[in-house]
Amino acid sequence: MLVKFVKTTTPRRGGPIYSLTLGRVYEVLGVSGDMYQLLNDDNGPYLYEDECFEVIDPTAPDFWQFEHFGSSTYAYPPSWAAPGFFERVDDEDPLACAQFWRDMEILYPWTFSQRREKRP
């Protein structure tokens, strides 16, 4: 799934969105309700409101594990769907970070190849 960053503010967030480049196309790594999990320009996985993006390619990867809670959809690779996974990555847990970058290389080769030089 590919999206283009087209809007730097939203009514919900209020302030500007940093760490993304206006007009750049990003690969969606997962979906949490009405938010997209992206690898931002600082190479961190982060959730961004879907209303800031134009969908370029709506095709969801076949490896995503989907869960539905009411009207909200959550979709991630199975190894990332575990509760607290992204919190552990954000806290720089070595095992979670290693899993994240291994999966990035295998599951998201387009994004991984673009970020190989900058990755932590």
The rounded average pLDDT for each run of 10 residues, N- to C-terminus, in the chain (120 residues) is 90 75 96 94 92 96 93 94 93 95 95 71
H runs (alpha helix) in 18-108: 85-90, 94-107
pLDDT at 16: 72
How far is 93 from 105, CA to CA, in rounded Å? Answer: 18
What pLDDT score does 61 carry?
96
Q: Please state the pTM of the whole predicted model.
A: 0.90
Among 49, 55, 48, 99, residue whose Cα is nearest residue 77: 99
